[in-house]
């Protein structure tokens, strides 16, 4: 049995050992491996909805739901009553049509994170607002050359994004590869977190937690507490991992198994890269090839230091830390039985486009900042008239203002600076970004992401090809409380 962390002991002291042992679904374990809390059960894959004849049509309802989390009944919000929502599988060139109904008490909408589709009208339009009880018909048309990979969907109604994602509204999207890697099986692993009170309801979030970016006490894989999966030695598996946490970074390891990175956020790498760990900021995805070796291994999320508000707020505030003081066990892989036949070679991926070889039409600098002042929205009070502000270029989000105007068909270079003491993962809708410099060094090979982490007091330079689509959309910090508090801007492509 692992020793209790400081955060766990505080929770035990606050709620009583009995209540914490039953109610702490994700972070407290018995010597039996968590079975008493519902852990150790077989990993379940989300329902899969696949396109046919070039289209996938589905009805999607965001509504309150009762689900099992560990050994408890939890009152959450979910798409179509499941946590996570169904996995949507499409192909390049397909049309995805979603009839979305809002069964919540707050307005909502839908964002197809990472898909390169139109932001206008019924496309990936972040300015749509679906009132409670209303519906909206989305129509997403994927280009014929859309990169294969793992993407995801979640609400994006400003002011409600963190609450709705933390409540359980998310699901994976797979754009299938026309030349897939031969594998024994494929697993979708949607990692999320939440905090429940003693009654199984979603716990209230304090102002300091919102300002820091909430991290839930229970960490889930496909809505499950530390599930287990089985494989035979010598098999090759494809793991599609989505970081669907509102603020938690995931530094993933799987000791005892051979891991290779096949893709990250957008498309395939030319060749898979062997690694021992990989870090996902909120919103990032990775595709991992797992070459199995006999024995039991645990997929673990190690702590990530993403900064704090110390110094800005006159010293530490109660609850301002993310509470990631110990590794969290996510999933157990048990490899037993007869050795499988060799899976064969991995076909090469495409040569990646390198925007450093293309002319740059414009250069911009965007600064992500936090500070004390009246500019904050929903911030926590620290003194008479004072709030924490979350801004880009000194301004909080305003849907009526256009912050950046770009020309379709051009390449731009953006320098992303962070003048705050916390990391900010920047997400640009519709168009992926090529990272060209970070930590003052040039990135050697093309690296394409749609969430780029900008470290505290750091700087990253990216290039963006504004191909294909005109329209108006947003860019923002993907610590979703920070987005809701104002750290988002608007962009119009014409």
Going by pLDDT thresholds of 50, 70 and 90, the confidence category of residue 343 is confident
Q: Is the separation of the CB atoms in 196 and 88 below 8 Å?
A: no
Mean pLDDT of the chain: 88
Global model pTM greater than 0.75 = yes
Going by pLDDT thresholds of 50, 70 and 90, the confidence category of residue 79 is very high
**What is residue 100's predicted lDDT score, i.e. its pLDDT?**
98
Distance CA(453)–CA(51), nearest Å, equals 33
Give me the mean pLDDT over the 143-169 stretch: 97
Task: With H, G, I as helix, E, B as strand and everything else as coil, classify residue 301.
Answer: strand
Least confident of 45-49, 238-242, 320-324, 475-479: 320-324
Task: Give the max Cα distance, the chain.
Answer: 69
Domain-wise residue ranges, the chain:
48-175, 182-335, 355-493
List, for residues 85-106, the tens digit of each pLDDT value: 999 999 999 999 999 999 999 9
Share of the chain above pLDDT 70, in %: 86
Say if strands 404-406 and 295-302 run parallel, antiparallel, or are unpaired.
unpaired
Distance CA(433)–CA(221), nearest Å, equals 28
Task: With H, G, I as helix, E, B as strand and everything else as coil, classify residue 368.
Answer: strand
Q: What is the CATH number of domain 48-175?
A: 2.60.40.420
Distance CA(419)–CA(400), nearest Å, equals 25
Q: Is the separation of the CB atoms in 370 and 390 below 8 Å?
A: yes
CATH fold, domain 355-493, is Immunoglobulin-like (2.60.40)
Q: Is the separation of the CB atoms in 487 and 390 below 8 Å?
A: yes
List, for residues 246-263, the tens digit of each pLDDT value: 999 999 999 999 999 999
List, for residues 429-463, the tens digit of each pLDDT value: 999 999 999 988 999 999 999 999 999 999 999 99
**What is residue 378's predicted lDDT score, i.e. its pLDDT?**
41
Going by pLDDT thresholds of 50, 70 and 90, the confidence category of residue 39 is low
**What is residue 1's predicted lDDT score, i.e. its pLDDT?**
30
* H helices present in 175-272, as ranges: 207-212
Q: In angstroms, what CA-CA distances link 312 with 308, 320, 370, 371, 457?
A: 9, 12, 9, 7, 13
What is the chain's alpha carbon radius of gyration, rounded to the nearest angstrom?
Answer: 22
Tokens of 240: 């599609």
Least confident of 77-86, 115-124, 381-390: 381-390
Share of the chain above pLDDT 90, in %: 81
Distance CA(439)–CA(429), nearest Å, equals 24
- 355-493 shares the fold of 48-175: yes
List, for residues 360-372, the tens digit of each pLDDT value: 999 999 999 998 7
pLDDT above 50: residue 145: yes
Say if strands 328-335 and 228-231 run parallel, antiparallel, or are unpaired.
parallel
Going by pLDDT thresholds of 50, 70 and 90, the confidence category of residue 23 is very low
Least confident of 170-174, 188-192, 286-290, 342-346: 342-346
| Beta pairing partners, 261 | 273, 288
Distance CA(95)–CA(112), nearest Å, equals 13
Q: Which CATH superfamily is domain 182-335 in?
A: Cupredoxins -  blue copper proteins (2.60.40.420)
Return the beta strands (E) in 135-254 as ranges. Answer: 135-141, 149-154, 171-175, 185-194, 218-221, 228-231, 236-243, 250-254
Identify the residue with better confidence: 382 or 436.
436
Quote the Cα angle for 344-346-348, to 5°.
145
**What is residue 386's predicted lDDT score, i.e. its pLDDT?**
37
pLDDT above 90: residue 57: yes
pLDDT above 70: residue 310: no
């Amino acid at each position: 049995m692992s020793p209790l962390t400081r955060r766990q002991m505080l929770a035990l002291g606050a709620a009583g050992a009995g209540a914490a042992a039953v109610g702490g679904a994700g972070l407290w374990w018995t010597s039996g491996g968590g079975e008493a809390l519902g852990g150790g059960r077989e990993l379940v894959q989300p329902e899969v909805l696949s396109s046919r004849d070039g289209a996938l049509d589905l009805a999607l309802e965001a509504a309150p739901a009762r689900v099992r989390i560990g050994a408890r009944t939890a009152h959450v919000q979910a798409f179509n009553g499941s946590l996570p929502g169904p996995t949507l599988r499409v192909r390049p060139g397909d049309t995805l049509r979603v009839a979305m109904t809002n069964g919540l008490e707050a307005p909502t909408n839908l964002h197809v994170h990472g898909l390169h589709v139109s932001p206008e009208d019924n496309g990936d339009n972040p300015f749509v607002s679906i009132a409670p009880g209303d519906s909206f018909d989305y129509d997403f048309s994927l280009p014929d050359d859309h990169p294969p990979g793992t993407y995801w969907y979640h609400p994006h109604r400003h002011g409600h994004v963190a609450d709705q994602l933390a409540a359980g509204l998310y699901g994976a999207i797979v754009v299938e590869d026309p030349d897939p890697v031969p594998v024994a099986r494929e697993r979708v692993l949607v990692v999320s977190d939440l905090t429940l009170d003693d009654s199984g309801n979603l716990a209230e979030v304090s102002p300091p937690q919102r300002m820091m970016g909430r991290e839930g006490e229970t960490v889930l894989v496909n809505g499950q507490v530390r599930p287990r999966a089985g494989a035979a030695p010598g098999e090759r598996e494809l793991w599609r991992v989505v970081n669907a946490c509102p603020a938690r970074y995931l530094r993933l390891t799987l000791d005892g198994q051979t891991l290779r990175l096949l893709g990250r956020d957008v498309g395939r790498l030319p060749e898979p890269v062997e690694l021992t760990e990989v870090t996902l900021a909120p919103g990032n995805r990775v595709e991992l090839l797992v070459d199995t070796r006999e024995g039991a291994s645990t997929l673990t999320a190690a702590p990530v230091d993403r900064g704090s508000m110390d110094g800005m707020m006159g010293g530490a505030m109660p609850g301002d830390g993310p509470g990631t003081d110990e590794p969290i066990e996510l999933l157990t892989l048990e490899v037993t039985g007869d050795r499988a036949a060799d899976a064969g070679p991995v076909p090469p991926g495409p040569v990646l486009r390198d925007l450093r070889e293309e002319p740059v039409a414009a250069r911009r600098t965007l600064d992500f900042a936090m500070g004390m002042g009246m500019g904050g929205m929903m911030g926590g009070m620290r003194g008479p008239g004072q709030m924490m502000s979350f801004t880009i270029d000194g301004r909080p989000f305003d849907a009526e203002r256009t912050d950046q105007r770009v020309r379709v068909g051009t390449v731009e270079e953006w320098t992303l600076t962070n003048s705050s003491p916390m990391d900010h993962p920047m997400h640009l809708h519709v168009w992926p970004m090529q990272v060209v410099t970070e930590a003052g060094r040039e990135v050697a090979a093309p690296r394409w992401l749609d969430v780029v982490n900008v470290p505290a007091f750091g700087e990253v330079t990216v290039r963006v090809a504004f191909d294909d689509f005109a329209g108006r959309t947003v860019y923002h910090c993907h610590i979703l409380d920070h987005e809701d508090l104002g750290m988002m801007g608007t962009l119009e492509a014409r």
